[in-house]
Structure 1
């Protein structure tokens, strides 16, 4: 039971780190960068969430 809790906690922490990393990368894009790749920041953030959390 405790092993399960620890495993789940480690998994949640790893997912959160991955998500935070993706968000930081997306947030670092300038409006010009987004325009160059025809991207929308909010859509990218949504896709990042979906990638990490499903």
Structure 2
């Protein structure tokens, strides 16, 4: 029982990390010009991505 929950938490953690890394890569793919065009701030986008994934 304990081992099963440990494995489940590890899988959930890995899935969250994968999702966060994918979002960060997408945000990092924007050039400064792209961000200026959409009036976005990279650090705020990264913060929101973290908040979305980890709560």
Establish whether TM, by shorter chain, passes 0.5. yes
Structure 1: 4+ residue segments shifted above 4 A: none
**RMSD over aligned Cα atoms:** 0.3
Stretches of structure 2 that go unaligned for 5 or more consecutive residues are: none
- Deviation digits for residues 3-49 of structure 1, max 9, x if unmatched? 00000000000000000000000001000100010000000000000
**What is the CA–CA distance in structure 2 between the aligned matches of 1:33 and 1:18, rounded to whole Å?**
22
Number of the residue aligned with 1:25: 26
**What is the CA–CA distance in structure 2 between the aligned matches of 1:21 and 1:49, rounded to whole Å?**
11
Q: Which SS does the other structure have where 2:10 is aligned?
A: helix
Task: Count how many residue pairs are aligned between Structure 1 and Structure 2.
Answer: 54
